[in-house]
């Protein structure tokens, strides 16, 4: 795996390290930085409370006082998008952690173990991925009931096979690497090899894999919220906002377009950064 | 070769069986008395009796499991709690609009991805490279877009603003266009990315240089020689494709007010009508496994390298 | 090869363009035709797009407002309520009330039969009322109409006498309601699940219930034998339409889209933002019905803390600007309410107008006095560490007409203005039934099914009504007044009592009336004869509707 980015680099003059990073990735990082700042300090970014409604100014198109306009009951859409980032991102993150933890355990076990263990774990992944992720999440929610935690668990379960397979493949790759072979040849015990060499190298891949795939968790969470199975109004979660804006879509596009754009841009940004890091650090993505 | 085929088929059956068992375990593993779990918040007269009868709750667990599998093998998907009708009847009437939507979206996605990937992959300079970069950006954008938001954008543009297509419903081809396009675009994005990778790998191969040296035009090269290599990922991803289309159809149907499996499933989820949701999930898994297995077998025939290894 | 590519591309382009041109706006603009034919045309089909799929098609067991006017297509009543509040003959040719108010004698028509051939007669009337009393819960919409009813006597084949335990001035109106309409005794005896709809629910109405596709539509076919329309109908004899379909389209945007693209002919529940799509637009018509008998009201359970404190209730009632919110959410298509009885009703207490509401300063003062002086981190008031929260439980099947949006706006205003946490939980009908049965409900928002005003107040505030019958200590002043009013004959004394009840309810903030709903319909201009039934508070059945020959 080459450690140089494969996409052409734009010849704009930039400080040393940044010259090896493609422009789209830099933009993505900047976007996420701004988003993170807004999530942490929303009051700096917007003076409006996302739950306060000003019915006299309901359904105003975007203008100088309300950058993204106001929704059906007069709430400022921009501040709802900013505050909503917390919900969408944090719930997405939690569900991804669920997928990651289970996927890690299963994937590493599969990558390390004998053929039978590997086959077994792979069957588990096959079974889980035989159910379309959306339907699997719906199935889990049917039992657990609606709500934020249940939804995060449901999305998390649906994401297990993806992480499991990638981590298995990463484990297999590390296992066959030179430094591991050397360690084994020199008599290091299997356990020490695992703890000293395999585990750290697999875990090192986790943040990169997470960055690439958190986007799908965010989309899945907002989809279930859109369907009404997650946070309830007036929570400004992005999927909920899209559901609320639907009925008046014909006369007011802004309560729906902006939250959706937020989701798309966030997911794109994570994808770009994650894929770049994968190329740089030689992490398998499949 | 035959051994490989048989192995694939057996694996498919195994996964199916495991999937059904997983569903059974999921239902019985939840805390609480099983009838309470299955009934959820519902309290219709005769519901508990119906649940007990359907699931054979007064018998031993292995007996229940066996009966569950037997019923499934016969295509008996149980009785809906809420509607007190056989699930198969409830689903059967709603199947066609969903199949229509998924099929149209699938075909559209494959065609779109093929066209885009084939015409823009592998260029390193000039107009081709720009096209490639734009295509890659679009692919990234479409895979990052939630399907319901995409539907809203298309509605705003094509239904409300330009009045080209109806807003909702299932009457005829016109009402299928927007939902199918909505569902197809994110899928096309993923397919296109994968095809692009496959194509770029192929375009680096020596035989391509040979073909070019013979004076064959770039277009002819791509269509006649390289295209089939782009189709291989479609085969390997076929199972995922079907699953994604079915899942996306649920959301798209809600978005466009189309009847179909999606609306039935959503109603069942919110009313905790377990048999219906279970049936939909198992049906989707069945389709997925069958498709994947068939495609795996097909792959063995398509890729000669795999035949004798 | 190039030729192949070119022709393929050409085909694709042709296909694309033809799709584009064919899929555009439908040919629903038939301005020329709407100006013509004032003469009804027999034949044709009609498709409605409606908000609510009825949970039950048995009028004796139904409770959903939106189920009743669908049921009217196959269910008739003894008498029909006219817009002026008096009654016209229907299945009963004439009637008389005894001087002591304890019995009603009806002379029935002798030429009526159910669509399964069973004759309609006094025995059939008795069979239906017996059925209600034996099979339906006493707090249901139908049985509560019969609280003071004792039994029916078959005086002769076509004369039936209803004997009451006590005089009940709500009786005539109740008898004009679809809830006390008639199902064939044969169907009743066969013990089907009549709620399930379909051909098993047999009535005498202008249509037969030919099919019910769950989740999709209810289909009705003309009853060719129909000769017994009510005295105040627009025509007599069989219905004009051959077939009527009610399609269930729960989302407002979807209904609007379905009508504007011509997939349906007539929709109910046009949301305020979509009125401009049809109102004064070529090819369409937009109609608004009269205000409902009851206004959409928050009923507050005043026996459960913190709402047991009248200061808290009054603060809730006055803590927001209802006028502004109603105007904003409904864009001026409906009026805000002052009482839980609708403003178009004769027994509406008009003196309540302007007497309460929108006094944030006073509301805050009341809450301070009541001890809710601390605030938590989200700005809500607290007392002894407990947040000032009251939850509205709103069953999903009854949510319609942007009412959840209205409540959200009020929720937001109360939070900002007075720090009260008004929760909104969209729950299931089953949840509500459980809460009702144990008296554990906190706030229930509704418009009641239409009936006599004394009956409405009985339902919503009386000690035997469906909200308070499981509660041990309702307010005796108001329940006494309601019980007495029901016994008095219709007249000034009763009207005064009903006005007092409304005043007390609002003054004590047992209720917070919100707005006076009306049905908003839109249709193609080729549809004629659309009307509203006074006793339904809603669209009339499809009996008087006809469509232009070419349209439909």
The reply to whether A73 touches chain C by the CB within 8 Å rule is yes
Domain boundary among B55, B87, B119: B87
User: Are B22 and B133 contained in the same domain?
Assistant: no
- pLDDT at residue number B239: 81
Query: B291 CA to chain A: closest CA distance, Å?
Result: 10
Q: Looking at the predicted structure, is the pLDDT value of residue C35 above 50? A: no
Task: Report residue A93 as tokens.
Answer: 């993150």
Q: Looking at the predicted structure, is the pLDDT value of residue B305 above 70? A: no
Question: For chain B, what is the domain count?
Answer: 2
Query: C406 CA to chain A: closest CA distance, Å?
Result: 8
Q: Would you tell me how many other CB atoms lie within 10 Å of the CB of residue C19?
A: 16
What pLDDT, in 10s, does the model give residues A158-170? 989 888 988 888 8
User: Are B217 and B235 contained in the same domain?
Assistant: yes
User: Are B81 and B103 contained in the same domain?
Assistant: no
| Residue C264, CA distances (Å) to C49, C312, C544 in order | 6, 47, 18
C 250-279 near B (Cβ less than 8 A)? 251, 253-254, 256-258, 260-261, 263
Structural domain of B54: 2-87
What pLDDT, in 10s, does the model give residues C501-530? 999 999 999 999 999 999 999 999 999 999
Residue with the bigger pLDDT between C421 and B221: it is C421
B106-110, C215-219, C394-398: which has the highest mean pLDDT? B106-110
What value of ipTM does the predicted structure carry?
0.83
Domain boundary among B64, B87, B110: B87
**What is the rounded radius of gyration, in angstroms, for the C-alpha atoms of chain C?**
26
A 9-28 near B (Cβ less than 8 A)? 24
User: Are B199 and B269 contained in the same domain?
Assistant: yes
User: Are B173 and B292 contained in the same domain?
Assistant: yes
- Rounded percentage of chain A residues whose pLDDT exceeds 90: 42
Chain C contact partners (≥3 CB pairs within 8 A): A, B
CB A248 within 8 A of CB A255: yes
Inspect the interface and report whether the beta carbons of A242 and B148 lie closer than 8 Å: yes
Partner-chain residue, chosen from B83, B167, B177, that has the shortest CB–CB distance to C257: B167
The reply to whether C487 touches chain A by the CB within 8 Å rule is no
Closest residue of chain A to B279, computed from CA coordinates? A139
| Closest-CA residue to A250 (of B178, B166, C399, C269) | B166
CB A174 within 8 A of CB A152: no
User: Are B228 and B170 contained in the same domain?
Assistant: yes
Estimate to the nearest angstrom the gap between the alpha carbon of B107 and the chain centroid.
12
Partner-chain residue, chosen from B26, B247, B278, that has the shortest CB–CB distance to A132: B247
What is the band of B82 on the pLDDT scale with cuts at 50, 70, 90? low
User: Are B9 and B58 contained in the same domain?
Assistant: yes
Inspect the interface and report whether the beta carbons of A227 and B146 lie closer than 8 Å: no
The reply to whether A248 touches chain B by the CB within 8 Å rule is no
C 345-404 near B (Cβ less than 8 A)? 396
User: Are B67 and B176 contained in the same domain?
Assistant: no
User: Are B126 and B205 contained in the same domain?
Assistant: yes
The reply to whether A126 touches chain B by the CB within 8 Å rule is yes
**Mean pLDDT value of segment C377-385:** 91
Q: Looking at the predicted structure, is the pLDDT value of residue A4 above 70? A: no
Partner-chain residue, chosen from A73, A232, A250, that has the shortest CB–CB distance to C405: A73
User: Are B261 and B149 contained in the same domain?
Assistant: yes
CB C481 within 8 A of CB C454: no
User: Are B118 and B175 contained in the same domain?
Assistant: yes
Mean pLDDT, rounded, of chain C: 89
CATH number for the domain harbouring residue B131 = 1.10.3720.10
The reply to whether B183 touches chain A by the CB within 8 Å rule is no
Query: A250 CA to chain B: closest CA distance, Å?
Result: 6
A 128-187 near B (Cβ less than 8 A)? 128-136, 138-143, 145-146
Closest residue of chain C to A251, computed from CA coordinates? C273
Domain boundary among B87, B122, B141: B87
Contacts of B177 in chain C (CB under 8 A): 19, 23
The reply to whether B89 touches chain A by the CB within 8 Å rule is no
| Residue B223, CA distances (Å) to B118, B199, C5, C444 in order | 8, 11, 11, 66
End-to-end Cα, chain A, rounded Å: 14
List of domains in chain A: 67-281 (1.10.3720.10)
User: Are B212 and B115 contained in the same domain?
Assistant: yes
Q: Looking at the predicted structure, is the pLDDT value of residue B223 above 80? A: no
The reply to whether A123 touches chain B by the CB within 8 Å rule is yes
Inspect the interface and report whether the beta carbons of B30 and A143 lie closer than 8 Å: yes
**Mean pLDDT value of segment B9-36:** 73
Q: Would you tell me how many other CB atoms lie within 10 Å of the CB of residue C234?
A: 14
Buried b (16+ CB within 10 A) or exposed e, A202-235: beebbebbbbbbbbbbbbbbbbbbbbbbbbbbbb
Window from A47-51, B40-44, C376-380, C500-504 with minimum mean pLDDT: B40-44
Inspect the interface and report whether the beta carbons of A133 and B247 lie closer than 8 Å: yes
């Amino acid at each position: 795996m080459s450690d140089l980015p494969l996409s052409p680099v734009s010849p704009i003059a930039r400080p040393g390290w940044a010259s090896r990073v493609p422009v789209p990735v830099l933009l993505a990082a900047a976007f996420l930085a701004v988003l993170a700042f807004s999530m942490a300090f929303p009051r700096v970014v917007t003076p409006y409370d996302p739950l306060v409604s000003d019915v006299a100014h309901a359904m105003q198109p975007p203008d100088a006082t309300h950058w993204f306009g106001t929704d059906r009951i007069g709430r400022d859409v921009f501040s709802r998008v900013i505050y909503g980032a917390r919900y969408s991102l944090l719930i997405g993150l939690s569900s991804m952690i669920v997928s990651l933890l289970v996927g890690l355990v299963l994937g590493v076990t599969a990558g390390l173990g004998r053929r039978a263990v590997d086959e077994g774990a792979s069957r588990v992944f096959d079974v889980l991925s035989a159910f379309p992720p959306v339907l699997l999440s719906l199935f889990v929610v049917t039992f657990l009931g609606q709500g934020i935690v249940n939804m995060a668990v449901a999305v998390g379960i649906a994401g297990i096979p993806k992480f499991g397979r990638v981590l298995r493949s990463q484990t297999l790759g590390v296992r066959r690497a030179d430094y591991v072979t050397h360690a084994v040849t020199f008599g290091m015990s299997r356990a020490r090899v695992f703890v000293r060499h395999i585990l750290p190298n697999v875990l090192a891949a986790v943040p990169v894999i997470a960055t690439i795939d958190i986007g799908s968790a965010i989309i899945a969470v907002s989809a279930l919220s859109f369907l009404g199975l997650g946070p309830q109004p007036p929570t400004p979660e992005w999927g909920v906002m899209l559901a609320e804006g639907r009925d008046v879509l014909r006369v007011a596009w802004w309560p729906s377009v902006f939250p959706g754009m937020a989701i798309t841009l966030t997911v794109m940004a994570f994808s770009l950064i994650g894929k770049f890091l994968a190329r740089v650090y030689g992490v398998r993505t499949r | 070769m035959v051994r490989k085929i048989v192995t694939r088929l057996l694996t498919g059956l195994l996964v199916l069986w495991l999937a059904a068992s997983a569903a059974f375990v999921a239902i019985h593993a939840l805390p609480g008395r099983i009838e309470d779990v299955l009934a959820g918040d519902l309290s219709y007269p005769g519901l508990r009796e119906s649940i007990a009868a359907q699931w054979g709750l007064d018998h031993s667990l292995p007996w229940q499991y066996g009966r569950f599998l037997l019923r499934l093998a016969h295509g008996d998907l149980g009785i809906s709690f809420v509607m007190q009708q056989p699930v198969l009847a409830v689903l059967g009437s709603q199947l066609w609009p969903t199949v229509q939507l998924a099929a149209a979206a699938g075909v559209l996605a494959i065609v779109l991805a093929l066209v885009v990937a084939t015409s823009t992959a592998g260029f390193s300079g000039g107009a081709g490279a720009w096209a490639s970069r734009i295509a890659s950006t679009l692919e990234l954008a479409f895979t990052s877009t939630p399907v319901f938001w995409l539907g809203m954008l298309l509605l705003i543009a094509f239904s409300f603003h330009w009045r080209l297509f109806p807003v909702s419903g299932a009457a005829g081809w016109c009402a299928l266009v927007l939902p199918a396009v909505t569902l197809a675009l994110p899928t096309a994005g993923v397919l296109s990315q994968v095809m692009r990778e496959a194509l770029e790998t192929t375009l680096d191969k020596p035989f391509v240089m040979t073909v070019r040296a013979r004076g064959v035009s770039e277009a002819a090269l791509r269509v006649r020689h390289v295209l089939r290599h782009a189709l291989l990922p479609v085969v390997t991803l076929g199972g995922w494709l079907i699953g994604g289309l079915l899942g996306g159809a649920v959301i798209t149907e809600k978005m466009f007010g189309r009847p179909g499996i999606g609306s039935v499933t959503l109603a069942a989820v919110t009313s905790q009508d377990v048999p219906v949701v279970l049936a939909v999930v198992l049906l989707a898994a069945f389709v997925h496994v069958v498709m994947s297995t068939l495609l795996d077998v097909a792959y063995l025939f398509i890729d000669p390298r795999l035949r004798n290894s | 090869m190039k030729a192949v590519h070119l022709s393929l591309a050409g085909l694709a382009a042709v296909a694309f363009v033809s799709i584009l041109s064919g899929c555009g706006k439908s040919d629903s603009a038939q301005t020329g035709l709407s100006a013509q034919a004032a003469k009804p045309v027999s034949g044709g089909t009609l498709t409605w797009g409606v908000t609510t799929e009825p949970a039950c098609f048995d009028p004796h067991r139904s409770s959903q407002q939106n189920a009743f006017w669908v049921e009217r297509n196959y269910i008739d009543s003894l008498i029909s309520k006219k817009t002026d509040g008096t009654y016209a003959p229907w299945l009963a040719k004439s009637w008389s009330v005894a001087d002591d108010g304890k019995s009603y004698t009806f002379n029935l028509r002798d030429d009526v039969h159910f669509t399964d051939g069973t004759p309609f007669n006094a025995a059939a009337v008795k069979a239906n009322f017996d059925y209600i009393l034996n099979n339906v819960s006493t707090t249901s919409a139908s049985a509560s109409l019969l609280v003071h009813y004792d039994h029916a006597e078959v005086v002769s084949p076509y004369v039936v006498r209803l004997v009451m335990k006590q005089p009940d001035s709500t009786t005539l109106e109740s008898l004009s309601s679809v809830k006390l309409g008639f199902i064939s005794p044969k169907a009743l005896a066969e013990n089907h699940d009549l709620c399930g709809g379909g051909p098993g629910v047999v009535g005498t109405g202008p249509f037969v219930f030919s099919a019910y596709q769950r989740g999709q539509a209810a289909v009705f076919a003309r009853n060719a034998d129909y000769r017994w329309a009510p005295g105040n109908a627009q025509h007599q004899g069989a219905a004009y339409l051959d077939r009527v379909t009610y399609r269930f389209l729960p989302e407002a945007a979807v209904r609007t889209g379905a009508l504007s693209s011509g997939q349906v002919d007539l929709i109910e529940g046009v949301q305020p933002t979509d009125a401009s799509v049809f109102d004064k637009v070529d090819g369409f018509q937009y109609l608004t019905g009269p205000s409902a008998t009851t206004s959409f009201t928050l009923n507050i359970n005043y026996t459960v803390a913190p709402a047991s404190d009248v200061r808290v209730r009054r603060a809730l009632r006055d803590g927001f600007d209802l006028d502004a919110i109603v105007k904003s959410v409904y864009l001026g298509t409906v009026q805000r309410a002052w009482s839980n009885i609708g403003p178009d009703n004769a027994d509406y207490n008009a003196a309540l107008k302007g007497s309460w509401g929108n006094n944030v300063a006073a509301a805050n003062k009341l809450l301070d006095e009541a001890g809710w002086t601390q605030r938590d981190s989200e700005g809500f008031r607290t007392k002894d560490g407990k947040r000032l929260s009251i939850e509205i439980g709103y069953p999903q099947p009854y949510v319609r007409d942007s009412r959840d949006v209205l409540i959200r706006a009020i929720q937001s205003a109360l939070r900002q203005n007075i720090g009260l946490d008004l929760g909104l939980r969209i729950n299931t009908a089953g949840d509500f039934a459980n809460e009702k049965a144990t008296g554990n409900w906190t706030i229930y928002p509704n418009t009641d099914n239409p009936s006599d005003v004394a009956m409405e107040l009985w339902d919503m505030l009386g000690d035997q009504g469906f909200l308070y019958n499981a509660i041990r200590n309702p307010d005796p002043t108001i329940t006494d007044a309601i019980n007495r009013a029901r016994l008095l004959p219709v007249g000034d004394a009763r009207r005064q009592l009903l006005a007092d009840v409304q005043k007390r309810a609002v003054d004590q903030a047992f209720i917070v009336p919100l707005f006076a709903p009306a049905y908003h319909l839109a249709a193609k201009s080729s549809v004629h004869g659309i009307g509203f039934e006074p006793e339904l508070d809603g669209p009339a059945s499809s009996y008087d509707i006809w469509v232009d020959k070419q349209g439909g």
